[in-house]
Structure 1
Amino acid sequence: MWISPYKYVLSLGHLCSDINQSILSAVLPFLIATYHYDYTTAAMLVTVSNVFGAFVQPFIGMLSDKKNKLLYMTLGVLLASGGMAVTGFISNFFGLCIVVIISGIGVVMFHPQAAKLVNSVSSKNAKGKGMSIFSFGGKVGFTLGPVYTAFLMNLFGMKGTILFLIPGIVFGIVCSFFNKDFENLDVLEVEKKEKVKSEQKDDWSGFIKLCCVVFSRSILSNGISTFLAFYFIQQFSKSNSFASMLLSVFYGIGSITLLGGGIADCFGHRKMVRLSFCIFLPAIFIFTNTSHFVIALIMLIFMTCGESLSYSPMVVLG
């Protein structure tokens, strides 16, 4: 039981990391209004952030496999927050690309080490639940990002982005109390690995299939989060602030991920992934083909539920 609190510390870190991803999506309409970018140009900021982060993540993962280092997580969250904090002070598009790349790299620095530690502190029969607690923090971060962005933009204008640094500082302070404890988890991990080493086999066929599913889900999820605010502004003539708030609703409903892991522990992780996609894909089709605001909102709820329920089971399967 002594390791239980660490799940919540890691969940807090997930919040402080992922809030920056939703901040990036939420700040795009304000960048368009301020610097008169077109939608394609603005969306490129999300693309470069994700692409560069994706290239860096495997190397961070390899480093994390060798030794637990809280530095990877704390530095990652600080970079993620710091990159977003200066977006309001840079009008040059190339400069904006650089800082969102830094932020994106910061986000991916956090995840491999954190996911590894969550797995370490979760019991064998509650891996899904442990990952759900961790995922819940990320969903809360995604939810708060657009609200936080709209609040700062309305109060301070683009210069208010400097306050995006606060989550990174908060997590850095919290982590300062747990550094030694997390690094000591290496001892526990070595003992676990020695017990199961002879029983484990790499299932490359299953891994490739899972990667294809994760890849497809990521494309859809990132596309929705990037263009959701724009879609409601264009299709339903909503304001920037309203669209940002709606983005928070989208992420907030995603907190259902807290249930996904627990249900998957009971009924099977593969079944949970299949069920989630049976909800996710039809909802996307209806959402993109309706001109009715209320129907779009209802489908948005189903889309979010389907997308979120699959996260924890897929991480555990990986």
Structure 2
Amino acid sequence: MGQLPGLIPLIRAIAHVIEMLYQKLQYFQEGITITENVNKKLTGVITGHFLIDLYTPILPIILPLLIDTMGLSYFLAGLIVTAFNVVSSVTQPFVGLYSDKTGWRASVPLCVLIGSTGICLTVFTKSYLVLLMMVMGAAIGHALFHPSAMDLVYRLSSPVKRGMYTSIFTTSGSISYSLGPFIAGVLIEFAGLPSIIWMVIPGIIGAAWIYRNDIRYLNKEVFEKPVRTVKSQLAEKKKFWWIPAGLVVVICSLRAWAYMGLITYLPTLLTLEHREFDTVTTSFIVTIMLFFGVAGQIAGGYFSDRYGRKLMLVLGLLCAVPLFALIFLADGWLMYFGIMMYSFFACFCYVTSVTMTQELLPGNVAFASGLILGLCMGIGGVGAAIIGWAADVMGSLSDAMFLLIIPTMLCPILAVFVRYPAEN
């Protein structure tokens, strides 16, 4: 019994070690759970981006049919795309700014549902005004989705993998954006314009799956808005490069004007003016063009990490100029080469410009994303209506589209003057 008091400290020490091991094991298990939740959440956001961007390029494919069946002018046809892009662009920066300040985020599955149904239902209306309302409703779904989703990707991915997840996120949308025209073209060719409604099925099923995924893998500790972290970042980085960021936005807007103008009117140009392409062939050409754009995004992101963002921005925009001219000055395979390679280099600097704007505006990731993904695309949509008006006045869609070489030439010139802090 005399040895018992000496055993008490030993028992306490062993109990303490067991308790520590238990805590470590519990922490490890919680870490696995948190990592699983993050990965599942990222998967849901990336899937949502794939689905919601599947529907945007449907509009240019159905424009020739709307022009024919509804008797629309080029201006009114272009105004449909403009309405979508303007509503989306005006809304996105404000959504991003509100998200940065309050931590509020739009529901990913709800945005996917609104975006898919709004576009697909447009084929059932004979009223131009109702059609515009449906398109603008779908645009609101897109506007709510992109800043919130981009903010989630930025915060949930670790710094060493942030670029990779950002690239996966943007590329997922670009791939679906490329597939959309071909799927729509095949449906229209074999089942008519109303068959577009069948494309709503992936949106509905996907929204339901993402909603179930969000509920199942929700973890408040993981997804809580790190307001203090944002404030500390602002305290450390008080200098906002507003002028360079604004110049990048201007460049991206000019690039979007030319790129969106080509995407919007290329099906109409090939179908109505050349009159040698059917809907399937035209949609296939647009799809291949957009896939070249996806390849350009991946290549641009890789080379910008290796050789510098500003250099790749200037190089990509510079190479796009002669290729754009080739589309309208050449025929046959040379014209196709111009279309594909222009898309490659026009998208070469896309991911780079998003990252540059985020870094130039520290602590405002969602706002910066809203500027590039929203405002710039909206300006591109306005440019599409302007080109449609010019085509009505000039009597030639091809001549009006060739005017887009002006903003294309301005882009590399302005890019030279971007002051990027990482290179100073």
Instruction: Decide: shared fold, TM above 0.5.
Output: yes
Separation in 2 of the partners of 1:35 and 1:77? Answer: 28
Quick one: which of 2, 12, 16 aligns to 2:51?
A: 16
Aligned: 1:134 with 2:169: yes
Where structure 2 has 5 or more consecutive residues not aligned to the other structure, the ranges are 1-34, 358-424
Aligned: 1:272 with 2:308: no
Separation in 2 of the partners of 1:182 and 1:105? Answer: 27
Aligned position for 1:67: 103
Aligned: 1:242 with 2:281: yes
- Specify the structure having the higher radius of gyration (Cα): 2
CA deviation after TM superposition for structure 1 residue 297, in Å: 0.6
Aligned: 1:110 with 2:150: no
Quick one: which of 191, 203, 218 aligns to 1:181?
A: 218
Q: Secondary structure of the residue that 1:21 maps to in structure 2?
A: coil
Aligned position for 2:352: 313
Aligned position for 1:214: 252
Q: Which letter does structure 2 place at the counterpart of 1:44?
A: L
Q: 1:185 to 1:278 in 2, by over 3 A?
A: farther
Where structure 1 has 5 or more consecutive residues not aligned to the other structure, the ranges are none
Q: Which letter does structure 1 place at the counterpart of 2:303?
A: I
Aligned position for 2:329: 289
CA deviation after TM superposition for structure 1 residue 137, in Å: 0.8
Q: 1:242 to 1:206 in 2, by over 3 A?
A: same
Q: 1:67 to 1:188 in 2, by over 3 A?
A: closer
TM-score by length of 1: 0.90
Percentage of identical aligned residues: 24
Q: Which letter does structure 2 place at the counterpart of 1:77?
A: V
CA deviation after TM superposition for structure 1 residue 24, in Å: 1.1
Quick one: which of 140, 152, 157 aligns to 1:122?
A: 157
Alignment of 1:245-264 (within 5 A): 245-256=284-295, 257-264=297-304
Separation in 2 of the partners of 1:194 and 1:42? Answer: 45
CA deviation after TM superposition for structure 1 residue 258, in Å: 2.7
Q: Which letter does structure 2 place at the counterpart of 1:277?
A: L
Q: 1:267 to 1:129 in 2, by over 3 A?
A: farther
Aligned: 1:154 with 2:189: yes
Separation in 2 of the partners of 1:279 and 1:42? Answer: 30
Alignment of 1:49-88 (within 5 A): 49-65=84-100, 66-71=102-107, 73-88=108-123
- Identify which of structures 1 and 2 has the higher relative contact order when contacts are C-alpha pairs closer than 8 Å and 6+ apart: 2
Aligned position for 1:224: 262
Q: Secondary structure of the residue that 2:45 maps to in structure 1?
A: helix
Separation in 2 of the partners of 1:293 and 1:123? Answer: 47
Separation in 2 of the partners of 1:210 and 1:316? Answer: 11
Paired residues of 1:287 and 1:296 also in contact (CA < 8 A): yes
Separation in 2 of the partners of 1:33 and 1:170? Answer: 33
Q: Deviations over 1:150-198 (max 9, x none)?
A: 1221333222122232232133123221256386544473464355332
Aligned position for 1:193: 230
Separation in 2 of the partners of 1:82 and 1:219? Answer: 26
- Out of 186-195 and 113-122, give the one that drifted further: 186-195
Paired residues of 1:229 and 1:243 also in contact (CA < 8 A): yes
CA deviation after TM superposition for structure 1 residue 67, in Å: 1.7
CA deviation after TM superposition for structure 1 residue 204, in Å: 0.9
Kindly tell me the number of residue pairs found equivalent between the two proteins: 316
Question: Superposition RMSD on alpha carbons, in Å?
Answer: 2.2
